[in-house]
Amino acid sequence: MKLNDLAKHLSLEVRGGDPEITGVSPLENAEAGDLSFVISRKWLAMAPKASALLVPPDLVDEARAERDVPVLISQAPALDAGRAALLLGGRVLEVIGIHPSAVIDPTARLSEGVTVGPLAVIGPEVVIGPNTKIFSGAVIHARCVIGSHCVIHSNAVIGGDGFGFEFIDGAHRRIPHLGIVRIEDDVEVGSGTTIDRARFGETFIGSGTRIDNLVQIAHNVHIGRFCVIVSQVGIAGSCRIEDGAVLAGQAGLVPHVTVGRGARVAASTGVAVDVPGGATWSGWWGGPHRENLAQINAVRKLPEFMKTVRAFMKSRESL
């Protein structure tokens, strides 16, 4: 497809020529005929052969000067790259409708347009809203409620028992978990993620939230709207994640903490106290990001500092 025709389909502005585009490729693999995308300045040097680039508005002039290729101006280059690939013949193969190997309890209620993949299991009295997709091997346990236009990826488990025990008479006694998981509309849950049912009441996921692969969400957790939870995050019981918060990979939360609205928790950060709304926290035992950077910088200077101390002590001894 000619670049100008592609731009019309995507409702994007073109700067430069009108080459023929045969496919979409990541920067490091781009060849002549490929469209690729740039999301930051440092990416510009990585596309020596691409015939055209999707770039954000603030990089248009620099991209044109440095790469000398036509550009499509996009507020969301990665998203528009995907849209372009679909226009150029790309497709995602997936099951449509109910696969015959899926196990669905007769008391479950599935709305119009629900997709259930191979070997998925839908338990008793589950409610699933319109146009939600349940991929292969996913398990939705009894009485859980999932909204419309959600995506539950392969081998996710929604509504398994939470991890709760009391040590009595020399043994761990399981605490019954009698609640449910409630997931609002337009939520995506990644492969291998587990969301435990509440002990009582609900474990809750708000609309528009995106949960990556291999995330653990414990019983009675409340996650707000439009949150992002990245791979290998562990959220202990009864935590509250407010609207728009971001938890980066391998962040870990102890029970009963709150991450405030719009807060960001960096990768591998341990959170033991409440994170204020809008704050950015990092560190193995989390705190404000700037303080953590100052501590890291100080630790890095310790070897040189110790040399200075030893030299000073040696000079004192000679006196």
CA angle 181, 282, 187 (to 5 degrees): 25
Which residue of the set 172, 219, 222, 256 is catalytic? 219
Q: What is the phi/psi pair of residue 22, to 5°? A: -105, -15
Question: Per the structure block, which two tokens stand in for 68?
Answer: 């000398």
219 is catalytic: yes
Could you tell me if 151 and 137 are in contact, meaning their C-beta atoms sit under 8 angstroms apart? Answer: no
Beta carbons within 8 Å of 254's beta carbon, 6+ residues apart: 236, 270, 271, 272
Cα 131 from Cα 152, distance rounded (Å): 12
Task: Provide the residue type at 278 as one letter.
Answer: G
| Residue closest to 102 by CA, chosen among 82, 80, 120 | 120
Quote the distance between the C-alpha of residue 2 and its chain's center.
Answer: 34
Cα 196 from Cα 180, distance rounded (Å): 8
Eight-class DSSP state of 276: P
Greatest Cα pair distance, the chain, in angstroms, is: 91
Cα 283 from Cα 172, distance rounded (Å): 33
Q: In what order do the strands lie in the sheet with 133-134?
A: 115-116, 133-134, 151-152, 188-189, 210-211, 228-229, 246-247, 264-265, 280-282, 287-288
* Active site amino acids: 219
